[in-house]
Amino acid sequence: MKLLKKTNRYYLLFTSIILTLASTLLFITLNFVSEQQDELNLHTRQEQVINQIRKNGTNPYLPPYIEVKEIPKLINSENRLGETHIYNPIENEKEEYTELIIDKKIKDKNYRIIIRNSHVDADDYVFSILVIILILFGLMLGGLAIINSLISSKVWSVFYVNLAKIQKFSINQKEPIKLDDSNILEFTELNKAIEKLTNTTQSEFKALKEFTENASHEMQTPLAIVQLNTENLIQDVTLNESQSKMLEKIGNATNRMSSLTQGLLLLAKIDNQQFGIDEQVNVSDTVNTQITFYNDLFDSKKLTFTSNIESNIFIKGNHLLCQILFSNLLNNAIKHNINKGKITVILTPKMFKISNTGTEPKVKTNQLFDRFKKSSSLNNSVGLGLSIVKKISIYFDWRISYLYEKGEHSICVFF
Amino acid sequence: MKLLIIEDEPDLLESIVRYFENAKHICEHAKNYIIAEDKIAGFDYDIIILDITLPDGNGLNLLPSIKESQTDCGVIIVSAKNALDDKIAGLDLGADDYITKPFHLAELNSRINALLRRNQFKGDNTLVFNEIELNIKTQEASINKKLLVLTQKEYALLLYFITNKHRVITKQSIAEHLWGDYMDMADNFDFIYTHIRNLRKKIHELDGEDYLKTVYGLGYKYTDHN
């Protein structure tokens, strides 16, 4: 749940409890004070009435407030406090009264003195006060919630802006991350920490990429030296068969190493975004050219080749990378094919599909595009081909999928 | 032919020099920018092989002065693979061709010869090997003056062999020469057999001698020596 909601919930719960307690307490206190006042009032009036009777001998009679009756005998000479309901003809309803009753002997006569006070006013007061307090508390709560919302969304907006920036961040991007400032301490601290983290990771990543590129690059020269010296060595006419074989193996291994470093270098360059993607590439032509180049390889394995290539399909991308992509896919289809197998190529404005017959892959499908995972035991394949294909697809934002069904591998590239 | 090889890596330099001196060419070398500049200003060359990654400067910057002080000199730049920018820049600045590291000496030789033919004969000459004659301009081959009808690849193959005569050429270098960069990923070059077999057959049909010798598993040698 959102932070706002959570904190609000706690505030509201806490405030409600406090306010409920406070209102209850207030109510009880007001009532108590009111009753105390009432009692005091009754006692005072009682005193006044007793004095009046004593002095003037008159029997005050003001029902229901004051009732004095002569009684033959004193029944209860203690003060009795009670509640009673009396009908008020003016208001036409029964009203509540507190009454103080005492039986007293004044100047040789026995009197029952009843003093009454109406609750109504006091009750009304208490009720009004309570209502006002409750409304006030209600406003407070409501106001608290609203102000909380308004201020919080203003305060949190910076957070959300920065959150979006962080979500869009890629370690590979050229610029470092730039977060919006805030005058809230926690957010500033967080900003600084994130900027430091991303800057460090970016520079380390860049260093790693440069290292890979440099290493691959540096390897070209020793490889060239091996190759050239081997080429000079094989000119020697006194070589015997076993020596020739060894030189052949050296030659092959050097080729594989060369392929490998070229591939790694290419991957590093793509990572480095060293290839533009603004060219309008005639994909139909590219595919057809590649196929022409590979014709001889088709023949050598006696492969049947069928194709359905729509012409004049143009896609935004990079010429060289497109060539490499299709070349790798074709090469792969030939390499992992069986003798007298077949290859099918389909090209539409939406996708490129290549299928080839072949044995079941030994590697999990989702790992096929990882570096160096080879799907068959062909020792000579370097294993980078498909990962280059994958990287180029990602670079161009093309989706790629692989399927093995009924003895055929199919790779589909969606533009 | 007089060659200038501008290369900072001594082992590479030595291999190249050895190869071309064996082929009876005059080789001079420069191991850095300053020495190269000096030589270019002072002497004439037929071909300059220029490695653009020099320790004290970008080799590409030598191209303008080469164009200025050399006449009819062919320049081949040596660069890293997939370095498209370097290639384009080099060709724009006046280089005639480029080759990427690592390369085959046979390939370098082939390119240098093609350059020479372009520069010195303006592409109009014939290459002769015993009874075989190749007309560079028309790209036609003949044996004892009889026309040998060849496909484009077969002609290129024959030209490659004759240019690199008496030397063992690997299958890989043949594949790369004929099919270009796409072949560096192929693990098996046996597909070139077909073309070689067809070429041999056509030459045989015209009573030509088969100078193409297979050398164990290493490759082929086109020679009339025994």
Query: Is the separation of the CB atoms in B116 and B74 below 8 Å?
Result: yes
The whole-angstrom separation of Cα B178 and Cα B89 is 25
Give pLDDT tens digits for A55-111. Answer: 887 778 887 888 888 888 888 888 888 888 888 888 788 888 888 888 888 888 888
The token pair at A76 is 């209860």
Give the separation between CA B163 and CA A382, rounded to whole angstroms.
32
Sorting pLDDT into bands at 50, 70 and 90, what band is B81? Answer: low
Question: Which of A161-170, B42-51, B77-86 bottoms out in mean pLDDT, i.e. has the lowest?
Answer: B77-86
**Are A231 and B105 a contacting pair at CB < 8 A?**
yes
Residues of A in contact with B84 (CB under 8 A): 320
Residues A405-415: tens digit of each pLDDT: 888 888 899 88
Mean pLDDT of A147-165: 83
Measuring CA to CA, which residue among B12, B108, B172, B214 is closest to residue A252?
B172
Mean residue pLDDT of chain B comes to: 87
3-state secondary structure of A299: helix
Out of A229, A234, A328, the one facing B218 most closely (by C-beta) is A234
Q: How far is A381 from chain B (nearest CA, A)?
A: 7
pLDDT of A383 = 67
User: Worst-scoring range by mean pLDDT, A261-270, A278-287, B81-90?
Assistant: B81-90
Is there a contact between B16 and A228 if contact means CB atoms under 8 Å apart?
yes
Read off the pLDDT band of A382 (50, 70, 90): low
Decide if B11 touches A, using CB distance below 8 A: yes
Q: What per-residue confidence (pLDDT) applies to A154?
A: 80
The pLDDT of residue B188 is: 67
Helix B105-121 and helix B171-179, axial crossing angle in degrees, nearest 10: 50
ipTM topping 0.95: no
Residue A364: per-residue pLDDT: 66
Tokens coding B41: 């200003």
pLDDT band at A365 (very low <50, low <70, confident <90, very high): low
Q: How confident is the model at residue A372 (pLDDT cuts 50, 70, 90)?
A: low
Flag if B170 and A231 touch (Cβ within 8 Å).
yes
Residue A213 has pLDDT above 60, yes or no: yes
- List of chain A residues whose C-beta atoms are within 8 Å of the C-beta of residue B167: 235
* Per-residue tokens: A366: 């989702």
Q: Note the pLDDT of residue B123.
A: 67
CB atoms inside a 10 Å sphere around CB B96: 18
Percent of chain A with pLDDT over 70: 94
Percent of chain B predicted with pLDDT > 70: 93
Interface test with A, best of B22, B78, B187, B214 (most A CBs within 10 A): B187
> Per residue in A329-346, pLDDT tens?
888 888 888 888 889 999
Residues of chain A found within 8 Å of residue B195, distances taken between Cβ atoms = 296
CA distance A293 to chain B (A): 6
B149-191 pLDDT tens trace: 888 889 999 999 999 999 999 988 898 888 776 665 556 677 7
Q: Find out whether B115 and B47 touch, Cβ atoms under 8 Å.
A: yes
pLDDT tier, A279 (very low <50, low <70, confident <90, very high otherwise): confident
What's the distance, CA A235 to chain centroid?
68
Question: Which residues of chain A are within 8 Å of residue B218 when distances are taken between CB atoms?
Answer: 234, 244, 247-248, 251
Q: What is the mean pLDDT of residues A312-335?
A: 87
Do B168 and A235 count as a contact with CB atoms less than 8 A apart?
yes
Candidates A217, A226, A380; nearest CB to B187: A380
CA distance B198 to A118: 130
Please write down the long-range contacts of B142-149, taking CB distance under 8 Å and 24 or more positions apart: B143/B203, B143/B206, B143/B207, B143/B208, B144/B206, B144/B207, B144/B208, B146/B206, B148/B202, B148/B203, B148/B206, B148/B208, B149/B202
> Between the CA atoms of A157, A162, A165 and A171, what dihedral angle is there, to the nearest 10 degrees?
-170
B196 within 8 A of B210, measured Cβ to Cβ: no
10 Å CB burial of residue A185 (0-12, 13-18, 19+) is exposed
Which positions in chain A touch B215 (Cβ < 8 Å)? 234, 244
Nearest-Cα residue of chain A relative to residue B165: A235
A-B Cβ pairs (cutoff 8 Å, strict): 113
Residues facing residue A1 across a β-bridge: none
Q: Judge: A331–B186 Cβ closer than 8 Å, yes or no.
A: yes
What pLDDT band is residue B208 in, cutting at 50, 70 and 90?
confident
Split at pLDDT 50, 70, 90, the class of A263 is confident
Both tokens assigned to A100: 């103080």
- Which residues of B are less than 8 Å from A227 in CB distance? 102-104
Identify whether the C-beta of residue A275 lies closer than 8 Å to the C-beta of residue A320. Answer: yes
Asked if A347 contacts A310 with a C-beta cutoff of 8 angstroms, the reply is yes
Residue contact B217–A221, C-beta within 8 A? no
